[in-house]
Amino acid sequence: MSLVVKDLSFIYHDGTRALDGVSFSIERGERVAVIGPNGAGKTTLMLHLNGVLEPTSGTVEIAGMRVERANLREVRRRVGLVFQDPDDQLFMPTVREDVAFGPANLGMDDLDARVHQALAAVGMEHVADRPPHHLSFGQRRRVAIATVLAMEPEVMVLDEPTSNLDPASRRELAEILDGLSITALVVTHDLPFALRLCPRALLLSDGRVIADGPTARILSDDELLRAHRLELPYGFDPAVLRST
């Protein structure tokens, strides 16, 4: 298993229970969407996967390694977080330096090869020597993904990857992610994107896993979606995309 979450609960200092006994596992190479209404606990879950937050109870394991303080250096190599705003990850003078930063910080070798391969995987090798802030938002999103790929992680976690993208950039991103052979957890409100990219989905609500199964089946359950304040775009039929 790439990722195993068992009985994970988390309570914030103000007493808010953000996660309540969350359990699931992800096989190597799976792409799984995490969907749910605002306040469901999606971001809190994401921040447990590489040790930003510590569980109140329960455990998280990445490829058999427990996520805990003693293992954080290796855990953060194995779990790559791609944040909603790429500017939270891009801070070096050039794209090349940004992509090399993580591997260099961990003392990895073959930096030039890592940078080239990561940028090629997202179609951005031609901007390697440009300043990140000169790129479009969609291009910066791709470079942010490359910074994670350069670490060769076990699991990549993407937080709202389609936010602020135009339709063409959204489609291009889906095609790029679809071509990556990496375990991916995609936290998103974009239900059509979840269906396009992830065969499986977890529906999180009030800190609990309400449904876990094929994305098309979950998104075809109108009653389930309404009960948890989720809506597909007007006129969108999951069966249509599933059959294309």
The order of strands in the sheet holding 3-11 is 17-26, 3-11, 57-62, 65-66
- How many angstroms separate the CA atoms of 227 and 235, rounded? 19
3-state secondary structure of 37: coil
Fold adopted by 3-231? Rossmann fold (3.40.50)
DSSP 55-108: -SEEEEEETTEE-SGGGHHHHHHHEEEE-SSGGGT--SSSHHHHHHHHHHHTT-
Residue 229: what pLDDT? Answer: 94
∠61-65-70 over CA atoms, to 5°?
110
Single-letter residue type at 243: S
Please state the pTM of the whole predicted model: 0.92
Tens digit of pLDDT for each residue in 185-224? Answer: 999 999 999 999 999 999 999 999 999 999 999 999 999 9
Q: Is residue 64 scored above 60 in pLDDT?
A: yes
Tens digit of pLDDT for each residue in 14-30? Answer: 999 999 999 999 999 99
Show the tokens assigned to 165.
Answer: 């993208």
Show the tokens assigned to 222.
Answer: 């109108």
Q: Is residue 237 scored above 80 in pLDDT?
A: no
